[in-house]
Amino acid sequence: MNALLSLAKFIHFCLNLAQSNYIKIAFMNDTHLHLEEHLKSSDMLTDIVIGMSDGLTVPFALAAGLSGAVQGNVNLIWIAGIAEIAAGSIAMGLGGFLAGKTEQDHYASELKNEYWELKHKREVEIEEVRKVFLEWGLSPSTAEEATQEIIKDEKRWVEFMMKHELGLEEPDPKRARKSAFNIGTSYIVGGLVPLTPYFFVTDAIEGLKISAVITLICLYIFGFFKSKITGVNPWWGGLKVMMTGAIAAAAAFSIAKLIQG
């Protein structure tokens, strides 16, 4: 039992580290929407992708690994699976919460710096505003007029610099809590997909076969629509996500069989 639990922890750690970071980077690089409404939608989609991708893949690989080690004892699989989904959703949700708080703290820090620079480096900041307008293609005279108009209002001036010099949008103050909920819930929903077949069978290998079919189809559909949203070829994107899950599950099953001897 201790060996099986150690194996489960090892599989979860490796897959969570690789899969979560990969999806986060890939999806964030694909999403560049700047209007506030689009940003809110983009944030939610990012959270769902992060939670759902890990939820589908990690419990699937964990169940596959345990299926290769428990010799037909299906009860251990769904017990360990439920425990993993609970722990994974909490960990993923906490990660989303901390990421949201970090974004808020970073914005607040840069905002404070901008106000300090306006007070102590006023001429430099005025020149930076003028430079932004010139880079937009405005004539020098028009750029000067726009600059003088912007610097009349200190709050508007700082907001302008935050957005157009630093490229920072003011984060939603509720973003951290929303992210934690979205990611955690998506992880649970995704994790139940590969685990559900084990509730209705008495043999672990039989459950694995059903789980593999259902999960790989879901992974492909998930990858297809995720790629369509981000502008990647949806057929190829769906295949990549499906193959990632298949390789992870196959590796976990093989490792379990190898350790078991």
Query: Of the candidates 204, 249, 210, 253, which has an alpha carbon nearest to the alpha carbon of residue 73?
Result: 204
Write the CA distances from 56 to 101, 133, 186, 196, 251, integer angstroms. Answer: 26, 47, 9, 12, 16
77-114 per-residue burial string, b: 16 or more CB within 10 A, e: under 16? bbebbeebbeebbebbbebbbebbbebbeebeebbeeb
Q: Are 173 and 104 in contact (CB under 8 A)?
A: yes
Amino acid 215: pLDDT:
93
Amino acid 238: pLDDT:
87
Residue 200 burial (C-beta neighbours within 10 Å; 0-12, 13-18, 19+):
exposed
Weakest-pLDDT range from 39-43, 69-73, 202-206, 239-243: 39-43
Name residues whose C-beta falls within 8 Å of residue 134's C-beta, 6 or more positions apart in sequence.
140, 143
If pLDDT is split at 50, 70 and 90, which confidence band does 9 have? Answer: very low
Identify the residue whose tokens are 């108009």. Answer: 149
Q: Which two tokens stand for residue 165?
A: 């010099």
Q: Is 139 helix (H, G, I), strand (E, B) or coil?
A: coil
Residue type, 94: L
| Residue 5 confidence (pLDDT) above 50 | no
Q: Are 105 and 170 in contact (CB under 8 A)?
A: no
If pLDDT is split at 50, 70 and 90, which confidence band does 188 have? Answer: very high
Weakest-pLDDT range from 36-50, 165-179, 215-229: 36-50
Distance between CA atoms of residues 191 and 185, nearest Å: 10
Strand segments, DSSP code E, in 57-135 are none
Amino acid 261: pLDDT:
63
Amino acid 172: pLDDT:
83
Record the pTM.
0.73
| Residue 51 confidence (pLDDT) above 70 | yes
Amino acid 39: pLDDT:
46
Amino acid 26: pLDDT:
36
Q: What dihedral do alpha carbons 219, 220, 226, 227 form, nearest 10°?
A: 140
Residue 43 burial (C-beta neighbours within 10 Å; 0-12, 13-18, 19+):
buried
If pLDDT is split at 50, 70 and 90, which confidence band does 40 have? Answer: low
Tens digits of residue pLDDT in 191-208: 999 999 999 988 888 889
| Residue 16 confidence (pLDDT) above 60 | no
| Residue 242 confidence (pLDDT) above 50 | yes
Query: Of the candidates 235, 201, 214, 257, which has an alpha carbon nearest to the alpha carbon of residue 60?
Result: 214
If pLDDT is split at 50, 70 and 90, which confidence band does 243 have? Answer: very high
Domain ranges of the chain: 2-26+36-108+169-260
Q: Are 218 and 56 in contact (CB under 8 A)?
A: yes
Amino acid 237: pLDDT:
86
Tens digits of residue pLDDT in 74-122: 888 989 999 999 999 999 999 999 999 999 999 999 999 999 988 888 8
Q: Which two tokens stand for residue 168?
A: 């920072």
Query: Of the candidates 118, 121, 139, which has an alpha carbon nearest to the alpha carbon of residue 130?
Result: 139
Residue type, 185: T
Query: Of the candidates 185, 187, 211, which has an alpha carbon nearest to the alpha carbon of residue 19?
Result: 187
Amino acid 11: pLDDT:
43
Amino acid 18: pLDDT:
38
Amino acid 259: pLDDT:
81
